[in-house]
Chains A and B, each alone.
Chain A
Amino acid sequence: MSKNQMTPDVQKDSSQLKQKQMIAEHYTRLAKAPDTGEKNAYTFVPGNLTELLRSFDLLPVLPEINALQSSMRGKSREYIAIAEKLGHSEDVCTYVKCDLGMMKSGNVGPTGERLPDPDLLLLSYTGCFTFMKWFEILREEYDAPVAMLHVPYQGDGVITDSMRKYVVDQLKTKVIPVMEKVSGKSYDEDRLKEMLTRSAKAEDDLVAVLESGKNTPSPIDAYFGGVYYIGPIFTAFRGTQDAVDYYEALRSEIDERVRLGKGPVTPEGEMKEEKYRIVVEGPPNWTSFRKFWKMFSDEGAVVVTSSYTKVGGVYDNGFRHDPDRPLESLAEYCMGCYTNLTLPSRVDMLAKYVEDYNADGLLINSIKSCNSFSAGQLMILREVEKRTGKPGGFIESDLVDPRYFSAANIKNRLESWFQMIQQRRDG
């Protein structure tokens, strides 16, 4: 039986088609960049400076996204093996190894076209120590300048004036001068402000979409579906008119689902009965993304909100990019990303999610590759359970290493957890 025969036709909304078109155009521009002369910058999702890059007409390339796309195309096993043969440890982040393996295999992107070499490595060191090592590794491979932005951690759960000044000073003295040099253009604050205005508009719509999960039934799955919703704003499109249009269309579609009382769309079609409402902490597994999603949808489990959809920016706390304070606002954005929050802040946020979204409990998908997320998650689980009185679930997998996805194990654990929730309901 072919894969197409096994999988029902996927429902595509106009927003999905729009996103697909945006991504295709972006990758085509990147592929043609060596001919057109357009410059690019490799950078990361958390703490990305997309508006600033685009104000210099630099196209963002996100190695994390390339890694997860490689994984969804079934290429990550091969790429990781290449990196490990080169001496990279089995113990470390598989995004790094997948990216390195992809580069060594010709740097072919998700559309099947070769990605350009970086003109700039913008190391936004936000919420993840591995980012720093990742770009040190890439720096050895490419002849490209590096702009390092060190984003301080919210160790005490607050952003101080000193932290903000530190980031803004780096933007002014390190990052912007390198961007000017690479792009051959001067810093244009008015242009940046225009982009930040568009960012804030798209962020309003994104928050409305993500908070629609508070409805019963939830019209969205805020984890598996959520990764598509965050795609444009977390990657290359924040600050663009395309992003504004996308989020406007998406919000309108979700509003309509709420009006009609519809549940989320899953790979198997529309979910008819919402049996469990859950909050998920941690990134998804990408190697078996659909199989993983199906384990939830088969049980009638809907993820009503998740922390992963905050990894490229926390907006549901009211933060918006502010055109009146462009660099300060970018600094606050970077410092506010989810993995840059201290554990007590993460516990507060997740416990509040369980209450605000009327969820049955918190599930943690603990990722082997990602210490930034994973170190301390067992304590997070206990604290959230204690505060909410709702049972917690815990599963383990990896980002892009298929060796660390044990379907039977995860399914067993999920089924047991759902049974526990049901038993509590039944008294």
Chain B
Amino acid sequence: MSTDLQTLLQEAEELAFDIDSSYVKAWKEKTGGLAIGYLPIYVPRELLHAQGCLPVGVLGAGDNLEIIRGDAYYQSYICHLPRSVIELGLTGRLDCMDGMLFPAICDVIRNLSGMWKMMAPEKLSRYLDVPQNFDPETGGLFYRHELEELSADLVKLGARPLTDEALRASIEVYNRHRVAVQSLYRLRQDEPWKVPSSELYLILRAGVILPVEEHLEMMASYEAAVRADTTRKPMDQARVLLTGSFCEQPPLGLIKTLERSGCYIVDDDLIQVHRWILSSIPTEGDPLDNLVQAFLSDTIDSPTRYIDDGVKGAELVQRVKDSRAEGLLFCAPSFCDPALLDQPMAVTAVEKAGIPWTSFLFSENTGQFQVIREQAGTFADSIKLWS
């Protein structure tokens, strides 16, 4: 792993947009392990890791692949992510995956799980249902059973059986990973000029490909390098929180555009798998129960998750306060049901709290940023001038 910042970022970018799965193929050849792809937002990677599998985030091809066959599978009013996932599949780029997991976040990803079963009948294709009931005796038992079934499926593919000892060790390493990610987020909040979001994004996206241990090294190298870089000076930018991009990811050019338009992104929803569980998961006791309990009671308030007794928008307002953001950018993918159905409720809470906001839509392959640049620039100016 390089320690030189530019080389490190180059490595991260190559991994982040490795649409040919070159790294995964090499890893499999080297280790003989199984690679399990997963769609956004969250899967319990600790479990896969404990059974010797490489969890691989399949976040779409962004603007790096022309979609030809994928478009023939979807009507114009379906979001872009599943088209590029289909394109990646049909062009053989995901052949190295021994299995694919489709978490329960929306109807499009849900139905994609069935499409994958038809496209790759010889491979594991599993819809990972997660409870919207958060009582340990009800939703907890159901989720535990889902995880046990997943674990059994992995064993059938040739993975090693799950043991408490291995799972504890995996929870341990992912706890360290959570701490490292939080550290980078805190550094960006405190000194956003040191951690441009376009860089942080690459580092975090590389982390859905790399084994967790290697990604820990990458994050440590990056943090050390930016802390040591004295050439990065503060600018007069508006601090904003970017929300709504938790599944389909905006193109890197869009993130850069927002920064160039005068925004410091001080919190976001990008690559949320790293931050889905908020704190360290205990390792004592039954580790599988601990994994379940963390999902039930210690996660972010995602629009894909029923908020039960919570107050809609309260967590978002709190995040704005915690990150000392001066404004909010609703940045959702076109046709994203969870984000767009949630947004009016979130706006109500945000306006009540007196937080300035603006909104725009994107697709992962959006190529024209001028309008967004003007909008975000005007928003940033208005914050600097009048807030």
By a beta-carbon cutoff of 8 Å, the part of chain A in contact with chain B is 86-89, 91-93, 96, 125, 128-130, 132-134, 136-137, 139-140, 148, 150, 152-153, 155-156, 160, 162-163, 165-166, 169-170, 173-174, 342-347, 366, 368, 371-372, 374-379, 383, 396
Q: Is B210 an interface residue (CB 8 A)?
A: no
**Would A129 and B337 be within 8 Å (CB), given that A153-B129, A155-B129, A375-B111 are in contact?**
yes
**Within 8 Å CB of B341, what residues of A?**
88-89, 92-93, 96, 130, 133-134, 136-137
Chain B: which residue is nearest A128 at the CB level? B107
**Which stretch from B28-36, B46-54, B73-81, B290-298 is at the chain A interface?**
B73-81
Q: Is B126 an interface residue (CB 8 A)?
A: yes
Q: Is B66 an interface residue (CB 8 A)?
A: no
CA distance A347 to B115 in the complex (A): 10
Q: Pick the contact of A379: B77, B118, B138 (CB < 8 A).
A: B118
B74 touches A130 (CB 8 A): no
Q: Pick the contact of B335: A91, A148, A347, A372 (CB < 8 A).
A: A91
B127 touches A133 (CB 8 A): no
B338 touches A374 (CB 8 A): no
Chain A: which residue is nearest B132 at the CB level? A150
Q: Is B211 an interface residue (CB 8 A)?
A: no
| Distance of A121 from chain B, by nearest CB (Å) | 12
| Distance of B98 from chain A, by nearest CB (Å) | 18
> How many residues does chain B have at the interface if contact means C-beta atoms less than 8 Å apart?
56
Chain B: which residue is nearest A133 at the CB level? B341
**Within 8 Å CB of B131, what residues of A?**
150, 166
B111 touches A343 (CB 8 A): yes
| Distance of B229 from chain A, by nearest CB (Å) | 41
Q: Pick the contact of B117: A93, A132, A174, A343 (CB < 8 A).
A: A343
Q: Counting chain B CB atoms within 10 Å of each CB, which of A136, A140, A150 scores highest?
A: A150
Q: Is B369 an interface residue (CB 8 A)?
A: no
**Within 8 Å CB of B126, what residues of A?**
155-156
Tally of A-B Cβ pairs under 8 angstroms: 160
CA distance A130 to B342 in the complex (A): 10
A378 touches B113 (CB 8 A): no
Sample (24) of A-B pairs whose CB atoms are under 8 Å apart: A88-B344, A133-B342, A148-B306, A150-B133, A150-B306, A162-B142, A166-B141, A166-B142, A174-B133, A342-B127, A343-B114, A343-B115, A344-B114, A368-B77, A371-B111, A372-B107, A372-B110, A374-B78, A375-B107, A375-B110, A375-B111, A375-B112, A379-B73, A396-B75
**Would A376 and B104 be within 8 Å (CB), given that A150-B306, A166-B139 are in contact?**
no
CA distance A170 to B347 in the complex (A): 31
Chain B: which residue is nearest A137 at the CB level? B345
A376 touches B141 (CB 8 A): no
Give chain B interface residues in 49-84, CB to chain A under 8 Å: 72-75, 77-78, 82
| Distance of B87 from chain A, by nearest CB (Å) | 14
**Within 8 Å CB of A166, what residues of B?**
131, 133, 138-139, 141-142
Chain B: which residue is nearest A150 at the CB level? B132
B108 touches A87 (CB 8 A): no
Q: Pick the contact of B104: A153, A374, A377 (CB < 8 A).
A: A153
Q: Is B145 an interface residue (CB 8 A)?
A: yes
Chain A: which residue is nearest B138 at the CB level? A169
CA distance A398 to B142 in the complex (A): 36
| Distance of B74 from chain A, by nearest CB (Å) | 7
**Within 8 Å CB of B132, what residues of A?**
125, 132, 148, 150
Q: Is B307 an interface residue (CB 8 A)?
A: yes
Q: Is B91 an interface residue (CB 8 A)?
A: no
**Would A173 and B135 be within 8 Å (CB), given that A153-B129, A383-B118 are in contact?**
yes
**Would A129 and B138 be within 8 Å (CB), given that A140-B348, A148-B306, A153-B104 are in contact?**
no
